[in-house]
Amino acid sequence: MLQQLKDAITSRLPELDLVLGWEMGFDPFHATPLYIREAADVERLVVGPWAVHNLATYLPGLKGKKVGIVVKGCDSRSVIQLANEGLIRREDVTVFGLCCDGVVSHRKLREKLPADLGFVEEAQWQADVLRARVAGQEVSVRLSDVLADKCIACCYPNALGADVLVGSERTASPQPVACQESFEALSSAEKQAFWQETMARCIRCYACRNACPMCVCRDHCIATSRDPLWLGQENSPAENFMFQMIHVMHLAGRCTECGECERACPVDIPLLLLRRHMNRVTQDLFAYEAGTTVGQTPPLLTFQVEEAGINERGW
């Protein structure tokens, strides 16, 4: 698959300003975004379970350039959604789509290792088994045991709307996400208590916001605006949770569930619990799933006097 992708990028590169992909990062457990500008850069490209980043996050900031982008299924939904909302010009983007086998959750991987991720000495994938040496100990871990939750629930492993599709197409077999089920089963008071405790460790760094491909206000976010000052700057569970609720509401009907918010969080706050919940609500009310249909407008960007899914007049 990698060679096929490299060939496709090499042939399209002359007509593009740059192509977004991944290369290996500071250790054998981390890939990092790669900006391919010249043919030689293509050699550094990697794909696979470490390619966790949704590169669509960079697209709105590259307006005016001819950009190629490598996407997994979930990332491809973000590209479609951004184009549907007019936040990027689809004709300026060349989409290199992957048929994806899933990516790792570094949080889950950490739980399978004898020591912290930072003590990795060597790591190699052999098919879907990771063999690594961590703090002097040999370990092997199956990908299925450390898959990101979004991959377990994935309905779209093959990139949607791609200009070039690479790899052999997979059939989706989405499973329910256990933590979501147990979260939904909590009472309101229990949910409140859960967020009180969890938000106590939020550092308001806004990695969740900036990693989100659909969070496009960026420099002009109401959470950091000074005039007017909408949200208190105090780092308390109440203010932190308020920020998350604003984030969720701004993503209602727009979130493509790529999970970047949760992955980016340096203190492992399970932010997808909120996003998935809101996505279920928009699906129930509007029968809408963000980023799955080219040309579709999200329900909260349109207005209808009577929504089919909302009973306004009946008792």
Task: List residues binding another protein (CB under 8 A).
Answer: 25-27, 30-35, 53, 57-58, 107, 110-111, 115-120, 135, 197-198, 200-201, 203-207, 209-211, 218-220, 224-226, 229, 232-236, 260, 263-264, 266-270
C-alpha span between 7 and 10 (Å, rounded): 5
Cβ closest to another protein, residue 51 vs residue 160: 51
Residue 43 is given by DSSP the state: G
For residues 87, 92, 96, 99, the Cα torsion angle rounded to the nearest 10 degrees is: 30
To the nearest whole angstrom, how small is the minimum distance from the Cβ of residue 30 to another protein?
Answer: 5
Cβ closest to another protein, residue 37 vs residue 302: 37
To the nearest whole angstrom, how small is the minimum distance from the Cβ of residue 312 to another protein?
Answer: 35
To the nearest whole angstrom, how small is the minimum distance from the Cβ of residue 144 to another protein?
Answer: 19
Pairing mode of beta strands 31-36, 18-24: antiparallel
> What order do you get walking across the sheet with 93-98 strand by strand?
31-36, 18-24, 67-71, 93-98, 164-166
Q: Position of tokens 């010009």? A: 89
Cβ closest to another protein, residue 70 vs residue 211: 211
C-alpha span between 180 and 34 (Å, rounded): 33
Cβ closest to another protein, residue 39 vs residue 205: 205
To the nearest whole angstrom, how small is the minimum distance from the Cβ of residue 279 to another protein?
Answer: 21
To the nearest whole angstrom, how small is the minimum distance from the Cβ of residue 218 to another protein?
Answer: 7
Cβ closest to another protein, residue 107 vs residue 170: 107
Return the SS3 of 140. Answer: strand
